[in-house]
Amino acid sequence: MSFDYRIIDDVIHSRVRLAIMSYLATAHSAEFVELKKALKVSDGNLSTHLKKLEDTGYVIVSKQFVDNKPLTRIEISREGETAFRTYVDGLAAMLGPATNTKKT
Amino acid sequence: MSFDYRIIDDVIHSRVRLAIMSYLATAHSAEFVELKKALKVSDGNLSTHLKKLEDTGYVIVSKQFVDNKPLTRIEISREGETAFRTYVDGLAAMLGPATNTKKT
DNA sequence: GTTAGTACTTTGTAATACAAAGTACTTTGC
DNA sequence: GCAAAGTACTTTGTATTACAAAGTACTAAC
């Protein structure tokens, strides 16, 4: 139970980026449009958040053309997976007892 | 498992405010200095975040003088408790499988 | 062949996070 | 007894952020 707010990684902590990382934590990879729909985020917003994650090295972004249309694939990196796990653990430590997830 | 990033309450989601709410979720109330030490946050930063929580109605702040020194007591409100619970549930829904907290 | 759509990126701006500086005291040296 | 240092905050300044609107580069439809 640590309440030091600095234990939580603010690259991951942003709402949109947390949603991206959560999605990728299970899916491992996704397409731009797929994420956009799942997270209900505007494309501009998604784009900037992806860039931040890419710059930090938490995701790997690869662009190609399929049927003459751009197709962006986003993959979580090793570093990203580790960071995400650390983030979740830190969060659990902060939330404390409230973490006991109730299964519906 | 919802990845819609808007389900998470951004009043609570800020790192410092999440730490405050987590602290108060178990302690129910705390003093300014107590929070400052527990969260390792600068006083200016704590002050502004508390104001936001107070404005939103998630905490109740009461100021008094004890031994001629100001003493600020922060208490979580009913609304705050509900919002926090909703926040944690939303977070769990987003994090998905990663939520299964491992007990050290 | 203009109009609409897809898949993005860049840009503009309002809001945020944070610490430094400020306020109002009180206690401690000397 | 009064300057200097401390306590408990609040206000202010600024760099960063979050977000959508506008822009780019195409293709498909009418």
At residue B97, the pLDDT reads 67
pLDDT digits (tens, 9 = 90+) for A16-48: 999 999 999 999 999 999 999 999 999 999 999
Residue with the bigger pLDDT between B69 and B92: it is B92
Is residue B99 domain-resident?
A: no
In a domain, B15, yes or no: no
A-chain residue closest to B84, CA distance: A98
Question: Nearest residue to C7 (CA, C1')?
Answer: A70
pLDDT at B66: 83
CB contact under 8 A, B94 and A40: no
Radius of gyration for chain B, computed over Cα atoms and rounded to the nearest angstrom: 15
B38: tokens are 């527990």
> What's the pLDDT tens digit per position in B29-40?
999 999 999 999
Q: Is residue B64 part of a domain?
A: yes
Classify residue A102: in a domain, yes or no: no
In a domain, A63, yes or no: yes
Give the CATH number, domain containing residue B36.
Answer: 1.10.10.10
Task: Tell me if A88 is assigned to some domain.
Answer: yes
By the 8 A CB rule, do A101 and B101 touch? yes
SS3 A83: helix
Cβ contact B21:B74 at 8 Å: no
Can you give the residue range of the structural domain that contains A68?
Answer: 5-94
Q: Residue B29: its pLDDT value, please?
A: 97
Q: CA angle B34-B91-A75, nearest 5°? A: 120
Q: Which two tokens stand for residue A18?
A: 């947390």
User: For chain B, what is the domain count?
Assistant: 1
Q: Which nucleotides of D are covered by protein (CB under 7 A)?
A: 7-13, 17-22, 26-28
One DSSP character per residue, B36-56 reads HHHHT--HHHHHHHHHHHHHH
- For chain A, the average pLDDT equals 92
Task: Report if residue A49 sits inside a domain.
Answer: yes
Q: What region does B67 belong to: left with phi over 0, alpha with psi -120 to 50, or beta?
A: left
- Give this complex's ipTM: 0.91
- Residue A101 located in a structural domain: no
